[in-house]
Amino acid sequence: MPGSRTIATVPATGTVLNKLDGSLYGMNIGPFIEFPLHDRVSLTLGGGLGMVYVNNTYSFSETVVVPGVVTASRSGRVSNDDWLFSAIARANLYVALSQQWSWELGFAYQYAGNSRTTVLGKSANLQLDGILSLNTGLNYAF
């Protein structure tokens, strides 16, 4: 006679925490062309190449608890530095407020790719495929 088997439902809980902290630093260089739109207003269009320095720390922790049976945990942490090369396109609008002062409003799109960080088979992927930035400010000409 074959042995009998009992199947019981056992409650279990799982907790997963993934965290990616870091800083991005970038610079770009490239030509631009200026279009005077009015005696006090001009538009510049430009493009070029850039670099992005990625400094990040990825950490994770996982815990599975089956009451009365087992508690299993694992965690990991790794720091990563990465250099990404990019292409950039930008447009800026300048409005002259006086002989020395001007106001600027700009928009830029930068494609820098991805930075991947892996520890213990777990990974975080920082996607910098499309960085959009908006800037504004006052400029003073000496």
pLDDT value for 69: 84
E-assigned strand segments in 97-130: 101-111, 113-119, 122-128
Say which DSSP state 69 is in. T
Q: How far apart are CA 83 and CA 117, in angstroms?
A: 13
22-55 pLDDT per residue, tens = 999 999 999 999 999 999 999 999 999 999 999 9
> Kindly report the CA angle at 76 between 64 and 68, in degrees rounded to 5?
20
Place of tokens 């908006």: 134
Write the pLDDT tens digit of every residue in 58-71.
Answer: 999 999 999 888 89
